Amino acid sequence: MKSISSRNIHRPVVTLILGLLLVSFSTSAGATEYIVKLSQLTDLKAVFAKVEPVDTVQARTRIGGTIAALAVDEGALVKKGQQLAIVADAKLKLGISAMAARIKSLEARLSLARTDLSRSQKLRKSGSLSQARLDQATANHEMVVSDIAAAKAERAVLVQNRAEGAVLAPSAGRVLKVNVTAGTVVMPGEAIIRIAAENYILRMRLPERHARFLKQGDVALVGGRGLAVTDSAVRKGRVRQVYPMLEQGFVVADVTVEGLGDFFVGERVRVWVPAGKRSAMVIPRGYLYKRFGVSFVRLKDGAEVAVQEGAETQDGVEILSGLLANDLLVSP
């Protein structure tokens, strides 16, 4: 009875061992292999960049006078040629009125000179008037015509000056600063409104030791708003320009990226830019597994090796320690 019960007890154990061996054999048969190799990784330097317009233009007055009206305020979007303010000069209105009265007086003199010339021509034909008197009447008529033309030209200048009191937007964009209020006295050429052009860039400053690694056309990673360290809204940008002059030990560069139109000018954004290359070991994430919080890989000979994980890359995970070049890994 004891031998029968012993066989009955050991039979499930033998079945379990056989099952584990079959599972292990099937797992090792379906495992994929990976040869560890050194590759070149680009180090990324994290910096803060400011949102700035590519161009900043000034809306200036063309005549002197007083600000009669302001049509925009800070933050307003404007189009090229849009009227932003009106500069009024009371002397221009008085000058235009004076020139209108002068032209009216000259037109009355012209009517009289025309009548005198017509009478003189008739009397000259009948022989009742000398040629000198006719020449005098003709010259008088031409002089009045010339005076009227000059007065009309002067009035056109005054009208044009009054029209130039309208301050127009030199470029489309967003109003950053309005330097005046209604009633302010301004001089010709004075800047009263500052406008940021529609195109925005990220301007960053890096220590000069990174200047030799940074070049135009490099790909940069741009974070989202809020300066969060972990941000899912990371986008790709491109280095637009690297300025050749260092400023207080920093190299200045511009990065272009889409979607900056809704940012505030001067807002800071996190940017990662290339800062050199180095050799590193990178393996796919599928060859790593964890036990008690420690990362392991399995070699082809069956050994388990604890490794130290580094940063995530496009090809996998960087391994800082635990592996050597040409190690043969199998998937766990």
Neighbours of 138 (CB within 10 A): 15
Return the half-sphere exposure (C-beta side, CA atoms, 13 A cut-off) of residue 278: 10
> Contact 227/80 with Cβ under 8 angstroms?
no
Rounded to the nearest 5°, which phi and psi values hold at 247?
A: -120, 105
CATH (residue range 45-55+198-276): 2.40.30.170
Q: What is the DSSP letter of 52?
A: E
Is the pLDDT score of 22 beyond 70? no
Summarised one tens digit per residue, pLDDT across range 122-164 is: 888 888 888 888 889 899 999 999 999 999 999 999 999 999 9
Q: What is the pLDDT of residue 5?
A: 39
Mean pLDDT value of segment 279-301: 90
Q: Are the beta carbons of 292 and 306 closer than 8 angstroms? A: no
Q: Among candidates 68, 59, 115, 60, which has minimal Cα distance to 88?
A: 68
171-224 confidence digits (pLDDT tens): 998 899 999 999 999 999 999 999 988 788 899 998 888 888 888 888 888 887
Which residue, chain included where needed, has tokens 């360290």? 229
**Beta-bridge partner residues of 239:** 255
Predicted confidence at residue 262, as pLDDT, reads 67
| pLDDT of 13 | 38
Question: C-alpha angle 259/264/267, rounded to 5°?
Answer: 95
Task: Give the CA count within 13 Å in the CB-facing half-sphere of 34.
Answer: 22
Residues near 21 by Cβ (< 8 Å), separated by ≥ 6?
Answer: none
Residue 81 has pLDDT above 60, yes or no: yes
Strands 294-299 and 33-35: unpaired
Q: Which of 312, 284, 315, 313 is nearest to 297 (CA)?
A: 284
- 12 band by pLDDT with thresholds 50, 70 and 90: very low
- Give pLDDT, residue 226: 66
Share of the chain above pLDDT 70, in %: 88
CA dihedral 255, 261, 265, 267 (to 10 degrees): -70
Return d(Cα 321, Cα 27) in angstroms, integer.
Answer: 27
The answer to whether the CB of 330 falls within 8 A of the CB of 33 is: yes
The pLDDT confidence band at residue 60, using thresholds 50, 70 and 90, is very high
Cβ contacts of 34 within 8 Å, gap of 6 or more: 283, 284, 287, 328, 329, 330, 331
Lowest-confidence pick of 11-15, 204-208, 314-318: 11-15
For the chain, give every domain's residue range. Answer: 45-55+198-276, 56-87+165-197, 90-161
Structure-block tokens of residue 112: 């009289």
Query: Residue 61 above 90 pLDDT?
Result: yes
- In sequence order, what E strands does 223-292 have? 235-242, 250-256, 268-283, 289-291
Tell me the CA end-to-end span of the chain in Å, nearest whole number. Answer: 45
> Is the pLDDT score of 19 beyond 50?
no
Q: Rounded to the nearest 5°, which phi and psi values hold at 38?
A: -80, 135
Tell me which amino acid residue 294 is: V
CA dihedral 5, 11, 14, 20 (to 10 degrees): -130
Q: Choose among 274, 200, 258: nearest CA to 224.
A: 258
Fold of 56-87+165-197: OB fold (Dihydrolipoamide Acetyltransferase, E2P) (2.40.50)
